[in-house]
A and B are shown apart, each in its own frame.
Chain A
Amino acid sequence: MNATSTASDASGALMLYRENGQFKTSYAADQQLLPIAQDRWFMVALIAFCFFAVPLIASDYVLRALVIPFLILTIAAIGLNILVGYCGQISLGSAGFMGVGAYVAYNLTVRVPQLNFLVVLLLSGGSAALVGIAFGTPSLRIKGLYLAVATLAAQFFLDWAFARLPWFTADSPSGSVSTNPIELLGWRVERPVDKYLLVLGLLCLLTLAGKNLSRSHIGRSWMATRDMDVAAEVIGVRPIVAKLSAFAVSSFYAGVAGALWGFIHLGSWEPAAFSVTMSLNLLFMIIIGGLGSMVGSFFGAAFFVLLPLLLNRIPGMLGIDLSTAMKSHMEAMIFGGLIVIFLAIEPHGLARLWAIGKEKLRIWPFPH
């Protein structure tokens, strides 16, 4: 295909991406999540594609090794983004909160096996939220890097607790736990497709909830606190409510993601699965993806989950015979390089690039 035809195809398609003639006649229409009709159609098609087409075309490998971890980490990234991106409270303890979710879910399924898994998820998210509130209280006095250090302490404390307190692992001598298949009202979530659909459904619900929360008065109080906490207090935002609710909501997401990571993705895990490395990765995900942006959480998680695997496999796909160690070193080097390049091009992350792209499309082909 030559350049001209690409351009004309594109212009034909892109001319469609404009809101001329779409008049809003009510406040509700004006305030909806996707005010542009094309976006709405795109979203319907996309969701339909994810729910109906992906299970048909994706192989087990793609689902189990790529898509499921990506979806679960997206949930965790959204949670962390609520705290860091929307409320401005830096946290290095998110993997610890994921661990809380995972271990609470494990204990519930072991000790109360008749419990429905969705209830288990809610309770593990709820417990993580409580722990999050407890470790979030220092945020009322300290800010910025100091808070990051305080949350790092939370991470280390939780790591210690999972490794040392035998209650969490139901007295497993090796310190690792393993889960049983999940059953939801007769639906046995065992095949990769079932797992995928469960995680996808939850992700959609949680994304929707997170997006709506961030647009509600509570989300506005988070953003006011982030932008200037003194000014926020002056206009009547109570910092204790704003900050602790952000910690609670964020940890709830992390808890749910942790339970899914343990039960759906790993199946069996050791405390190291929720180590500080995971916390740092989640923080990098939202920084690369875009702070304070839902779509940024998706981009960030994809960047961190899919890109390394892709880089690892590119030499093989191109037929270049590299040693296993060399491939692994290349993966690390190129991945690190890409992080630097993307942040140099756009410090506000991939979400900002996406927004710029959309903005350009709306005025294309007649930029002012």
Chain B
Amino acid sequence: MKMTMPNSIGWIAAAACAAAGLASTAAAEDAKAAKEQFIPLLVYRTGPYAPNGTPWADAKQDYIKLINARDGGVNGVKLTYEECETEYKTDRGVECYERLKGKGPTGATLFDPQSTGITFALTERAPVDKIPLMTLGYGRSESQDGQVFKWNFPLLGTYWTAADVLVQEIAKREGGFEKLKGKKIALVYHDSPFGKEPIPLLEERAKLDGFTLVKIPVTAPGVEQKSVWLEVRQQHPDYVLLWGWGVMNSTALKEAQATAFPRDHLLGVWWSGAEPDVKDVGEGAKGYSALTIQYGAGLSKVQKDILKYVYDKGQGTGPREEVGTVLYNRGLIIQMLSVEAVRRAQERYGKGKPMTGEQVRWGLENLALDQKKLDALGFGEMLKPLGTSCIDHLGASYARIQTWDGSKWVAGELYEADQQIIKPMVRSAADAYAASKNITRRTGQDCQS
């Protein structure tokens, strides 16, 4: 008999065995826990985006510690967590998701992938595994349509609401939308799904308001931008919108300084407006404005509680002085909304019980945080009231402009995105997605479940 396989396939078997062993020990550890709610934390504390990823990750962990220390969990259910390093890479993110999704007595509560690329990959898997994805301020813009994207929650903002608010700010500076006619706005963007997301909305607004849109991509991670800013110089736009993340932001600001592009005509998205982005540039970034999701830097009630219950006891995740920075605060908002989704789900499915991903999804879809509740949570100054529904997975679309004065971020005006323009675009993009995936829109009844 003629054998036709090289013996190399042995490696597969060996690998599979070793890996199976790993997984089974992990499962055994989990079985003990009962009244626990497991929250997976996908983070990046290393790699090119680490300066921005770290405060975000620290805040998410600190808030869990606060809830456990101050309130004893959510109605007595302790919150547990495990971090997994993604390095902002899609394939590592998928591995982390697979690693953590089954942990805890009821599996993962929800995932906040902290990356648009990973979000795209997980959007396909979440409905199968019945775990919601929360992408506050990032991810797929059309996923605010909860009738098609049952498992995605881009709470408080998408790139379309961000782009819309930025155009509103420019219009305000120019003295009205009609003054935008003939103006030239350049979008300097991270060449990835994250950076490309705002383009459809900006194109729509360009048509509507009569300005010209110039799109200038920056190759990730964006440490080399000489040619980009040369092009900005040649094009001579009135405003530049900066859609960067991590090291790309500070590089862009340095290049803007080097090419003498006026910094007060440079506007960033909310991922381009944190301390690590401007700190190194200092005075050079003076006058640069960026969005923030409702609240920028500062110590409000919840941060003071964290200092008291977590940092004073030596339990803090990061350095103490990082508490209250822009991205730290955003991490707190994300984790607060996750915890509130669990609390909301408990109201329906049983107080004091750990919730499954499916139940948390209902909680996320029925969030109702009025001013009183926000005050009680310590977020009264930070957020406006918000509420989600089956149709609207956004909750609220406010964003604030903040300006760097050379040493700190100064909060400016609060805008609300114009849903008149965004809603129809969301609807048609969601319909296109539904058609390609053979999804039918959820009807009234499915919305109740």
Q: Write the residues of chain A forming the contact surface with B, with a CB cutoff of 8 angstroms.
A: 28, 32-34, 39-40, 42-44, 46-47, 49-50, 54, 57-62, 64-67, 69-71, 110, 163, 173-176, 178-180, 190, 200, 203-204, 207-208, 211-212, 265-270, 272-273, 294-295, 297-299, 302, 306, 309-310, 312-313, 317, 323-325, 327-329, 332
Given A47-B5, A173-B200, A299-B11, check contact A59 B20 (CB 8 Å): yes
The CB with the most chain A CB atoms within 10 A, among B192, B193, B220, is that of B193
Q: Which residue of A58, A173, A203 contacts B196 across the interface (Cβ within 8 Å)?
A: A173
Q: Are B95 and A174 in contact (CB under 8 A)?
A: no
Among the stretches B31-39, B119-127, B357-365, B382-390, the one at the interface with A is B119-127
Given A175-B192, A175-B196, A270-B117, check contact A58 B2 (CB 8 Å): no
Which residues of the other chain, B, contact A28 by a CB distance below 8 angstroms?
2
Please give the distance in Å from A172's CB to the nearest CB on chain B. Answer: 9
Which residues of the other chain, B, contact A190 by a CB distance below 8 angstroms?
128
The contact string, 1 if C-beta is below 8 Å from chain A, for chain B 168-208, is 00000000000000000000000111001101100000000
Q: Which of B196-238 contact A (CB under 8 A)?
A: 196-197, 199-200, 217, 220
Cβ-based interface call for B12 (8 A): yes
Q: Are A58 and B120 in contact (CB under 8 A)?
A: no
Q: How far is the CA of A70 from the CA of B85 in the complex (A)?
A: 20
Q: Are B7 and A34 in contact (CB under 8 A)?
A: yes
Which residues of the other chain, A, contact B443 by a CB distance below 8 angstroms?
none
Q: Write the residues of chain B forming the contact surface with A, with a CB cutoff of 8 angstroms.
A: 1-13, 15-20, 22-25, 27, 43, 45-46, 50, 54, 57, 83-85, 87, 90-91, 94-95, 98-99, 102, 116-117, 120-121, 123-125, 128, 140, 191-193, 196-197, 199-200, 217, 220, 429, 436-438
Interface secondary structure of B, over-half rule: helix
Q: Are B437 and A61 in contact (CB under 8 A)?
A: no
Q: Are A46 and B10 in contact (CB under 8 A)?
A: yes
Q: Identify the 9 closest CB pairs spanning chains A and B, nearest first.
A: A295-B8, A325-B45, A174-B193, A65-B98, A267-B124, A40-B3, A298-B8, A62-B19, A324-B83
- The 21 listed contacts between A and B (C-beta, < 8 Å) are A28-B2, A34-B7, A61-B102, A65-B95, A173-B429, A175-B192, A180-B437, A204-B9, A266-B90, A266-B91, A267-B125, A268-B120, A268-B121, A270-B120, A270-B193, A294-B8, A295-B11, A298-B8, A309-B95, A324-B45, A325-B54
Q: Are A61 and B124 in contact (CB under 8 A)?
A: no
Given A43-B9, A173-B200, A268-B124, check contact A65 B94 (CB 8 Å): yes
Given A174-B197, A266-B121, check contact A302 B15 (CB 8 Å): yes
Q: Are A62 and B23 in contact (CB under 8 A)?
A: yes
Which residues of the other chain, A, contact B13 by a CB distance below 8 angstroms?
46, 49-50, 54
Q: How far is the CA of A53 from the CA of B442 in the complex (A)?
A: 41
Given A62-B20, A266-B94, check contact A298 B12 (CB 8 Å): yes
Q: Which residue of A40, A317, A324 contacts B85 across the interface (Cβ within 8 Å)?
A: A324
